[in-house]
Chain A
Amino acid sequence: MTRQKYLFCYLMVAPAILITLALGVYPMIYSLWMSFVEYDLLRIQQFGTPFVGLENYAAVFADPRFLQTLSSTIIFTALSVTGVLAFGLILSQLLNASYRGRTAMRMLVCVPWFVPPAVASAIWMWLLNTERSPITQMLQGMGLIDGNIRYLTDPTTWGPFSIPMLSIVAVRVWNGLPFAVIFLLAALQSIPRSLYEAAEVDGASMLQKFWYVTLPMLRPMLAILATLLIIGGFGSFEINYIMTGGGPQNLTNVMAVYSYQQAYSFFRFDLASTASGVILILTGFISVFYLRSQFKKVA
């Protein structure tokens, strides 16, 4: 490539790099800096922002509510990523098969993706309201249950699980499923037919074809999806905040909600940045592991 061509290429990507630096990297670094200083809005005019080292990290890790939030975030992410990938695999297989009405099915599966999380939360809050839930009424009408189900408010727990947490996960899976299905469908369609034909010649059953052909061929896409979904899960905010506000009894609180509460309810931007810093570290680890595995493959 000539020097001019290099220059042209750099010029073309420069705006994207500048925007990423200004709107992505700078706020991230600034937020990290805030986690090492005192940044209390009620004291900032008098005391400024003195450096406090790791004090904010010590403070949030000494807060039982943060530890509960950290554990809830991990559970929420694990359940929702597993749910999205499992249902995504099933649905993408279904949508890849040949039958009449396949296009309509593909459209239908995509519908939840068009619904912004805030709107999805409002819709599901109504569907899951204790006294007025149409789902409960339907189940009662079918004689399957007697009592109301407190989908978003029942504080009963089984280990780390609770009905509100499972309800929130279900909404997250519903909202995020089309994203996974579209990626997996594209990956499925790129698998050469010849591999399935060879497996058929060898007498492989449908399950064996899935296990020995489909799954290995989908693995790179599944890894990308899992990484993206885990990162999204750790930063999840809207559904948890709108549907439960972290309740009941802090059972559905996640770190992004904790961070928001510290900043905008309690004016502690330092503690909010610290919680965000923990999210950054966790998602950073996941990304590094993923990238390393990709580089190893290339090598």
Chain B
Amino acid sequence: MEFALNATARRKALRGAMAGLSVAALMSANVLGANAQDITFWAQPQGDLLAYQDLFDNLTSQFRDQTGINVSVEVINWSVAFNTWLTVAQGGAAPDCADMYWLHAFVGIGGGKYGPRPLTDYLDQWPTLDQDFYEGALTDVRFNNEFYGIPWRVDIRPLIYRTDLLAEAGIDHPPQTWDEIVEDGLKLTQRDANGNVSRWGFAPGTNNAAQVMLPYYWQAGGQIMSDDGKTATIDNEAMRTALKFLQDLVHVHKIASPEMFESSNDAVANFTGGQVAMIGSMGSGIGEQLARDYPEMEGKWDFAINPEGPENRDSYSGGGYWGVLQGSQNVEACVEWIKFLSTPENMQVISETTGTASPRRAVMESPYWTDADWKKQVAETLNYGHTSQHPTSVWTALASPEPGAVLYDLVYNTVIIGNDIDAEIVQAQTRLQAELDRANAR
């Protein structure tokens, strides 16, 4: 009896224990389920594609170990990136968070319903943001008093020059002022017996007209529009000065090619082939490309901070940022992910793997960015970075490198065709204001 009672008691105890274990298992499964979260993240590839994918495999794996959050990364090819983001900004299928660009345009198109989502409420997650990041890069992630994410790459554009060609022409340092650009350009431009130019002394930039003009306009002290993005401000002396300088390079000094804005103009090929000796505003990404793909060019080129204009030596600065999309149900998890990506260690690894300049000061001060002179010059130029983003959703259309865009027409008509600068500025100012009104109509 005692045995039977004991047996019954044991069975009861066993049942109780089983039930308890089941409940515990279910509870723990629920707890785990609550923590296990899937977020989708889209990004455009940078640098070597395989290395880029490995990098994100490692980062997502570390992040999952730390937080239990699964990040599903989808790489969007650059060839379809613009159309993808345009679709997303109009209500197409969006990821939770992403590596994005052209914040102002996509926010405007989304109209607060789609596209990038403000993260102003989460700004306290990065308490030392202003000290940690370059100012120019932070301007890119702010629009209409809202904060949209963390900048992770900078398209900064210093001057690039052929050290061998400068030495050959007896020039011992890159130009420091606009006047020196002309002086050096005259020495470096070469023509054959038939008068064909075999080498241009200077190219103000690559073949995007608006982007070529911008740094010179800023260096002359100009701004394209008012801080609120409502008033066009290009009818001024700074614009006249910048356009006159660029026009003279082509028509008076004849040290810059009149083909500079045409599609067939290949600035990198011209530089490596020795058909142009200096490019005034060149994306720093070419540094990595030259070091990797052009070993024969080693020691024959270098970067320098932009020569000083009448007011300053501002440099063009664009870039990309990590942000969250409207409609995401996983905002907190995305913020965690972005916080994880934006740690100094991870930004260091990302910068080294992709070869892109980092907006985080600590990364640009690291041994990786100080082991070659050209890298130091890139870091130095970041101190002069002037954001290429402007506080209006129509900016992308204004600065498009296509005939019909306001700034393209202004620059092409004056610098290449040689039209009257004053008349063109007046016309461009009117057109620019009409575009700003279009973007600001509410």
How long is the Cα–Cα vector from A266 to B264 in the complex, in angstroms? 22
CB-based contact A244/B264 at 8 Å: yes
Q: Which 7 A-B pairs have the closest CB atoms?
A: A45-B111, A245-B263, A265-B400, A153-B259, A146-B194, A152-B264, A266-B397
- Having A40-B438, A132-B269, A267-B397, one finds 8 other A-B pairs with CB under 8 Å, namely A45-B109, A146-B194, A148-B196, A153-B259, A246-B402, A248-B262, A249-B403, A265-B402
A265 and B263 contacting across the interface, CB-CB below 8 Å:
no
Q: Which residue of A lies closest to B113 (CB)?
A: A45
Determine how close the nearest CB of chain B comes to the CB of A179; give it in whole angstroms: 25
B325 to chain A: closest CB distance in Å?
15
**In the bound complex, CA of A204 to CA of B133 (Å):** 85
Give B263 Cβ to nearest chain A Cβ, in Å. 4
Task: Report the stretch among A86-94, A122-130, A208-216, A289-297 that lies at the interface.
Answer: A122-130
What per-residue 1/0 map shows which CB atoms of A33-57 lie under 8 Å from chain B?
A: 0000000111111110000000000
- Residue-wise, chain B 380-401 has the 8 Å CB interface mask toward A (1 for contact) of 0000000000000110110011
**B405 interface residue, CB < 8 Å from A?**
yes
Distance in angstroms between the alpha carbons of A266 and B438 in the assembled complex? 11
Beyond A40-B438, A45-B113, whether A244 also contacts B404 by CB under 8 A is no
Is A83 located at the chain interface by the 8 A CB criterion? no
Size class of the contact patch on chain A: 35 or more
Which chain B residues have a beta carbon within 8 Å of chain A's beta carbons? 82-83, 86, 89-90, 105, 108-113, 194-198, 258-259, 261-266, 269-270, 273, 275, 393-394, 396-397, 400-405, 412, 416-417, 438-439, 441-442
Task: Tell me which residues across on chain A come within 8 A of B401, comparing CB atoms.
Answer: 245
Binding site for B on A (CB under 8 A): 40-47, 65, 125, 128-132, 146-148, 150, 152-153, 155, 242-250, 253, 258, 261-262, 264-267
The 8 Å CB contact of B259, one of A130, A243, A266, is A130
A247 engages B111 (CB within 8 Å): no
- Residue of A131, A243, A266 touching B400 (CB-CB under 8 A): A266
**With known contacts A42-B108, A45-B113, A249-B417, A265–B405 Cβ distance under 8 A:** yes
Q: Knowing A264-B86, A265-B405 are in contact, say whether A129-B438 is a contact too (CB < 8 A).
A: no
Known A130-B259, A247-B261: A266·B442 in contact at CB below 8 Å? no
CB of B264 within 8 A of CB of A243, answer yes
Q: Are B273 and A41 in contact (CB under 8 A)?
A: no
Partner of A125, one of B258, B264, B412, B416: B264
Task: Give CA–CA (A250, B262) in the complex, Å.
Answer: 11
Q: Does the CB pair B403–A46 fall under 8 Å?
A: no
Q: Which of B264, B393, B439 lies in contact with A128, CB distance below 8 A? A: B264
Q: Which residue of B lies closest to A267 (CB)?
A: B397
**Docked-complex contact A261 and B195, CB < 8 angstroms:** no
> Closest chain A residue to B109 by CB distance?
A41
Contacts of A264 in B (CB 8 A): 82-83, 86
Q: How far is the CA of A133 from the CA of B402 in the complex (A)?
A: 25
Partner of B262, one of A65, A131, A152: A152
A43, A247, A253, most chain B CB atoms within 10 A: A247
Complex: A238 Cα to B295 Cα, angstroms: 34
Q: Contacts of B396 on A, CB cut-off 8 Å?
A: 265, 267
Least distance between B356 CB and chain A CB atoms (Å): 25
Given contacts A41-B90, A261-B403, contact A46 B442 (CB under 8 A): yes
Residues on the A chain within 8 Å of B393, using CB:
42
Q: How distant is A49 from chain B, measured CB to nearest CB, in Å? A: 12
With A41-B90, A125-B264 already in contact, the answer to whether A147 and B397 are too (CB < 8 A) is no
Contacts of B441 in A (CB 8 A): 43, 46-47
Q: Per a CB cutoff under 8 Å, which of A42, A146, A242 touches B394? A: A42
**A41 CB → nearest B CB, Å:** 5
Take A246-B402, A247-B261 as given contacts and tell me if A45 and B112 are in contact as well, using a CB distance cutoff of 8 Å: yes
- A129 near B109 (CB under 8 angstroms)? no
Query: A131-B275, A253-B403, A266-B404 known; A45 and B82 CB under 8 Å?
Result: no
**In the bound complex, CA of A148 to CA of B401 (Å):** 26
Query: A267 to chain B: which residues have CB within 8 Å?
Result: 105, 109, 394, 396-397
Contact B110–A131 (Cβ < 8 Å): no
* A245/B394 in contact, CB under 8 A: no
Kindly list chain B residues whose C-beta atoms are within 8 Å of the C-beta of A132.
269, 273, 275
Nearest neighbor of B408 in chain A, beta-carbon distance: A265
Q: List 25 A–B pairs whose Cβ atoms lie within 8 Å, in order of A's numbering.
A: A42-B394, A44-B90, A44-B109, A45-B109, A129-B264, A130-B264, A131-B198, A132-B269, A148-B196, A153-B258, A242-B263, A244-B263, A244-B264, A245-B262, A245-B263, A245-B401, A247-B403, A248-B259, A248-B416, A249-B403, A249-B417, A261-B402, A262-B404, A264-B83, A266-B404
Q: Which residues of B contact A43 (CB under 8 A)?
A: 438, 441
Residue of B198, B259, B261, B442 with highest tally of chain A CB at under 10 A: B259
Known contacts A132-B273, A150-B259; A42/B402 CB under 8 A: no
Interface-centre pick from B90, B262, B394, B396 (highest chain A CB count, 10 A): B262
Give Cα A125 to B412, complex, Å: 21
Nearest-Cβ distance from residue A259 to partner chain B, whole angstroms: 12
> With A and B bound together, what is the CA distance between A46 and B113 in angstroms?
11
Which residues of chain A have C-beta atoms less than 8 A from B275's C-beta?
A: 131-132
A265 and B397 in contact, given A40-B438, A147-B195 (Cβ under 8 angstroms): yes
B285 to chain A, nearest CB (A): 21
For the complex formed, measure the closest distance between the CB of A201 and the CB atoms of chain B, giving whole angstroms: 56
Chain B residues with CB under 8 Å of A42's CB are 108-109, 393-394, 397, 438-439
Measured CA separation A250–B416 after assembly (Å)? 13
Distance in angstroms between the alpha carbons of A125 and B262 in the assembled complex:
11
